[in-house]
């Protein structure tokens, strides 16, 4: 999993290191495949991703080209469903029920559950081996603060991976004030800076 929403709240330094070291054959779980010249987009352009589970690929023409050429497998998931599947994994839930996709091709092959006369798709939790997430600042204990919209997918992803690597812009010498902690250090395994 890689946090961020387009260029907002992306762990760009870690992504640059993945590209530099040609770490490939990845399954990417993210909101998007970004832009060709930036963050997650660089993973696509350098053909380091074999499968992308994302909400959209429209801002990166290379994603569409690789998809059409059979070089990249893409699983498109509605954005709200994607983040809730991640959140369900982090909370230890067996999945979520959503009406999004009922009566469309999204429904194909999925369990449909009826509750009080309404149909819902059962969407299973989405967990990762590794989550690479961004923070505005962190302390040496891994407690992190994310400012404004940089929270996007980062906060949910921090709870839904076996290993969480945090890329803060700043590391504070003193512990963060508990009132400003967005991601508790208990979820963070490594701090990269």
State whether 54 and 139 are in the same domain. yes
- Token pair 């508790």 is found at 184
Q: Which residue has the tokens 């999204």?
A: 106
What's residue 193's pLDDT?
A: 81
The whole-angstrom separation of Cα 21 and Cα 37 is: 17
pLDDT at position 7: 87
Burial class (CB in 10 A: 0-12, 13-18, 19+), 36: middle
Regarding whether 180 and 154 lie in a shared domain, the answer is: yes
| Residue 148 and residue 110 share a domain | no
Give the C-alpha separation, 133 to 30, whole Å: 11
Domain extent for 89: 79-123
* Same domain as 178, residue 118: no
The CATH number of whichever domain residue 136 belongs to comes to: 3.40.1080.10
Cβ neighbours of residue 112 closer than 8 Å, sequence gap 6 or more: 102, 119, 120, 121, 122
Cα(124)–Cα(5) distance, integer angstroms: 22
In this predicted structure, the answer to whether residue 106 has a pLDDT above a threshold of 90 is: no
Q: Kindly state whether residues 72 and 83 are assigned to the same domain.
A: no
pLDDT digits (tens, 9 = 90+) for 9-28: 999 999 999 999 999 999 99
The pTM for the full model equals: 0.95
50 and 133 fall within a common domain: yes
Q: What is the pLDDT of residue 23?
A: 96
Compute φ and ψ for 162, nearest 5 degrees. -70, -35
pLDDT band, very low/low/confident/very high, at 132 (cuts 50, 70, 90): very high
d(CA 166, CA 173): 16
85 & 147 share domain: no
Same domain, 37 and 83: no
Query: What is the predicted pLDDT for the residue at 86?
Result: 98
Q: Let me know whether 14 and 45 are in one domain.
A: yes
Q: How confident is the model at residue 135 (pLDDT cuts 50, 70, 90)?
A: very high
Please state whether beta strands 144-145 and 128-139 pair in parallel, antiparallel, or not at all (unpaired): antiparallel
Contacts of 174 (CB under 8 A, 6+ apart): 139
Give me the number of domains the chain comprises: 2
Q: What is the per-residue pLDDT across 40-75, written as a single tens digit (0 to 9) for each? A: 999 999 999 999 999 999 999 999 999 999 999 999
| 56 in the same domain as 85 | no
Domain shared by 174 and 108, yes or no: no
């Amino acid at each position: 999993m890689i946090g961020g929403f387009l260029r907002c709240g992306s762990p760009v330094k870690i992504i640059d290191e993945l590209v530099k070291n040609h770490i490939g054959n990845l399954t990417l779980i993210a909101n998007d495949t970004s832009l060709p010249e930036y963050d997650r987009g660089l993973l696509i352009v350098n053909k380091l991703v074999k499968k992308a589970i994302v909400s959209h690929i429209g801002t990166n023409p290379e994603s569409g080209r690789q998809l059409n050429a059979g070089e990249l497998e893409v699983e498109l998931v509605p954005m709200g469903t994607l983040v809730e599947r991640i959140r369900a994994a982090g909370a230890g839930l067996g999945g979520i029920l959503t009406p999004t996709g009922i009566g469309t091709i999204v429904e194909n092959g999925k369990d449909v559950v009826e509750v009080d006369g309404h149909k819902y798709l059962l969407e299973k939790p989405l967990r990762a081996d590794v989550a690479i997430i961004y923070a505005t600042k962190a302390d040496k204990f891994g407690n992190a603060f994310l400012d404004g919209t940089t929270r996007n997918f980062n906060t949910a992803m921090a709870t839904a991976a076996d290993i969480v690597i945090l890329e803060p812009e700043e590391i504070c010498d003193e512990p963060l004030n508990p009132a400003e902690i967005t991601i508790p250090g208990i979820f963070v395994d490594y701090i990269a800076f």
